[in-house]
Structure 1
């Protein structure tokens, strides 16, 4: 077995040390946090002027505030591209509609009505990464959810220059405003607002380390979806796995960028050797070979487990963004996995299908955060409100319990707010209690 890959064997190495290597948390460096804090402060203090300066500084693009907003018509791309975008949009919209939260209510023990109401947010911001290629899929995996939720104002930002196909996808998906702005400064503009850009209620979308850290620092003054970092995939494979399929999935995630992470867990020595051989063969023909090789060198782990159950247990410790189950019984295996962002079941479910068009959003928790965080979902575009409705008879049934809690917590006005609604007997009892405690009876009316 070639030694240029990091291969761990559960039958030879301390399992607790393997778990420790797989466990990780995304923590920003102090230097990054300080740089982002400085950018946010500049935008808050100088508004559009800071945005223009920072766009020139980081993107090497000269834009005046009048140039931030893209207003021209979206020029249709080639028919084949339009077809692909339409296909993805159709799937995402159907998934969004199916997962839309619904108002509901029920009667509790005393007969009062309780429930929830969901209303779409008024104005949201969507960050779409730029870079070496237009990430059209990121637009299609976010904006349609807002549109189907009924959000009235959907503000998209992306680093300049915005690729024509990306701009078409944003407008087609439902963005009502599109701004040529990127990085932490774009997130700051969405949160603080400037003369050119009104602030939003919530910010969605993935981005680089600056974008993620800006969302982290601004959380509280503006809502955010989650803090997704570098892409990652874990594949659990048994002896039935097709090595060329497994290698292709691992390489697909590796080409996202040099910080991507890939993990293979298998109980089969034969599968492990075949996957490694396929990785070396397939990587030769990839345009992003240098990026892939950096991931294989720095962020790839191959684990040979003693059995499938151990592999499924360890992948839960890793809590991957994407999990591919290349096993004979994927549905059974999925039931044994505790933590991950998305599961791809069976050999004919490539992660790329989820990345581009399956329906669920590909914005998912990374860095081990899938232990507690969800990926982007329809419910996040709504504001949830609890509903409580008591009748006099229902309130009368529990007024003594309300009075007891009020007494325990020393909140007399709380108790009176219930007692005054159900009749004079309870008010009289409160007066007597107040007198026993030495309070003037005139305080309880």
Structure 2
């Protein structure tokens, strides 16, 4: 792991790099652009070719969608414990989403014009659920299930199959329970392209949701505008801000839980106390030996784990806002009083007894959160992202007359006399 301190000569340079604005490399951008163009041109045939190239799967253009028989098989294969866990998570996610939905309202302005907003669920959305090295059952619950709670009638899920052409039964079960109405056994940038442009098998969607690797994230960047996009969620990351009040073994466990994702995950511990850093490192080295995913964990410890000693708590909070972590674990004295000072993180877990994993799997808010510094602009997935807003305006003869002098002035200044006349003719 990397360890740095405020007393290091190059700490100011480290601080500058800590304030991230991540972007894809030229190679990734070009590779994704080529995939998007190919799928847009060749449709299902391109999906079959890319499934063979990237997943080693021999698919047929007539077999890209998951069948009812496969869904029934998955339902039969999943044990009762997982079904109960999925049901518990769905209950919480649904309740949180429905409580946070935006609702219509109206008001009357100073001229007597009635103005308001209406909110409707989107008609058709696409959800990307990563496959890869682990079946991310919870990601289906934290994405598609929110759309279902809001009332989206058509939810397309794209998720990569294995070399045998099948989707993990647990993942498939969760996807169906979360409200998917169509399931495409294709992942990667080509899955994003299919949902964006449509193919012979899949009609295009209005908006895309869900996390993915750097190619998926870049694909979402490139198709934004053709479709709506929720946010830019890439590889998992956590930053833990801890002081002497923390329990080092708890902090170490949370760091390892995020390191378990492997690959490009980033795991950071920030503390004003060198003793905290030492104690957590000691606990981490003990715990890591007991875990099953040693390869991914060791890779992240070597390449993506950073321990930072700051001069004081204020500097630590500034660094949190610079880094804009996907997950922030805030384990300091008076944590509740500090919440308002944290402005950029995707989700905050407060105190020694709030493990990130509770939020990952069960609590209710979506675990699909901004990464790579994008928390400075994006929130995590919320219910209102699945809603479309429409404003409305209702005038009476009296309110249009009261509005006419002001509209005429704007029309005169902007040289748009037809605009002015469309109001004045009603007053005359």
- Superposed pair shares fold, TM > 0.5: yes
2:105 match: 104
1:393-419 CA distances to partner (integer Å, 9 max, x unpaired)? 112112111111111111101111111
User: Is residue 20–residue 322 contact of structure 2 (8 Å, CA) maintained in 1?
Assistant: no
Q: CA deviation at 1:258?
A: 2.3
Q: Secondary structure at the match of 2:392?
A: strand
1:79 Cα deviation after fit: 1.0
2:75 aligns to what SS in structure 1?
A: coil
The whole-number CA distance in structure 2 between the counterparts of 1:124 and 1:363 is 16
Counterparts of 1:225-240 in structure 2 under 5 Å? 225-240=230-245
Q: Which runs of structure 2 are paired with 1:405-420 in the superposition (5 Å)?
A: 405-420=410-425
Task: Provide the C-alpha distance between the structure 1 equivalents of 2:344 and 2:10, rounded to a whole number of angstroms.
Answer: 22
Q: In 2, distance between residues paired with 1:7 and 1:171?
A: 44
Partner of 1:38: 34
> Aligned to 1:37, what secondary structure does the other structure show?
helix
User: Is 2:322 aligned against 1:290?
Assistant: no
Separation (CA, whole Å) in 2 of partners of 1:389 and 1:251 = 57
Alpha-carbon deviations, 1:122-170, whole Å to 9, x = none?
1111111011221100101011111111111111111012111111111
Aligned Cα RMSD in Å? 1.3
Unaligned runs of 5+ in 2: none
Residue in 2 aligned with 1:326? 331
- Whole-Å Cα distance in 2 between the matches of residues 314 and 35 of structure 1? 34
> Contact conserved, 2:4 with 2:11, CA < 8 A, in 1?
no
TM-score with structure 1 setting the length = 0.92
Match of 1:120 in 2: 121
Is 1:361 paired with 2:361? no
The equivalent of 2:43 in structure 1 is: 47
Q: Does the alignment pair 1:60 with 2:61?
A: no
Pairwise mapping of residues 10-409 of structure 1 onto structure 2 (< 5 A)? Answer: 10-13=6-9, 16-71=12-67, 72=69, 73=72, 74-76=74-76, 77-160=78-161, 161-409=166-414
> SS of 2:31's equivalent?
helix
1:431 aligns with none
SS at match of 1:196: coil
Distance 1:54 1:181 in 2: 9
Q: What is the rounded CA distance, in whole Å, between the counterparts of 1:59 and 1:11 in structure 2?
A: 47
Tell me the distance in 1 between the aligned counterparts of 2:187 and 2:207.
17
Normalized against structure 2, the TM-score is what? 0.95
Q: Which runs of 5+ in 1 are unaligned?
A: 424-445
The structure whose Rg is larger is: 1
